[in-house]
Amino acid sequence: MPEYSFSGLFLVSFGAATVLPVSSEAVFALMILSGYDAWGCILTAAVGNWLGGMTNYYLGRFGKTQWIEKYLKISSKQIKKVQKMLQGRGAATAFFSFLPVVGDVIALVLGLLRANLFIVNTTMFLGKLLRYIFLWYGLEHAI
């Protein structure tokens, strides 16, 4: 049954990177503490979370602000606040898309701003990967 667990971790990690209110950390921690392969969990969660974040990026890139407000329930005020925060900082700020709440909006706004796709992909994946590595490290040393 491990293959279903990894599939579940992938789906939850993907959903957690979108506007869905799910926690990949809980599933990740449960799997690590249950003895699943740490690197398998780290990579599965990171890839799922990264693809979810890139979904937000593309929703911003191809969406309209009015559509984002209506269907994703992200206010124009939130969007403008993050746009102001990202002003002049560039695509590398995608690294911080792992942050709770604001991370989803960062990816979305980078899409709206048409930020460099290669840099967004690379820095977003690194941020998400490091997040799960640090989470694993914390779990291993808390036991």
Please write the tens of the pLDDT for every residue from 2-19.
Answer: 667 999 999 999 999 987
Q: What is the pLDDT of residue 10?
A: 96
Q: Which of 94, 127, 104, 105 is nearest to 18 (CA)?
A: 104
What is residue 110's three-state secondary structure?
Answer: helix
**Average of per-residue pLDDT across 57-69:** 84
Tell whether the model's pLDDT for residue 1 goes beyond 60: no
The pTM of the full predicted model, rounded to 2 decimals, is 0.88
What percent of the chain clears pLDDT 90, i.e. is strictly above it? 56
Tell whether the model's pLDDT for residue 143 goes beyond 70: no
Tell whether the model's pLDDT for residue 128 goes beyond 90: yes
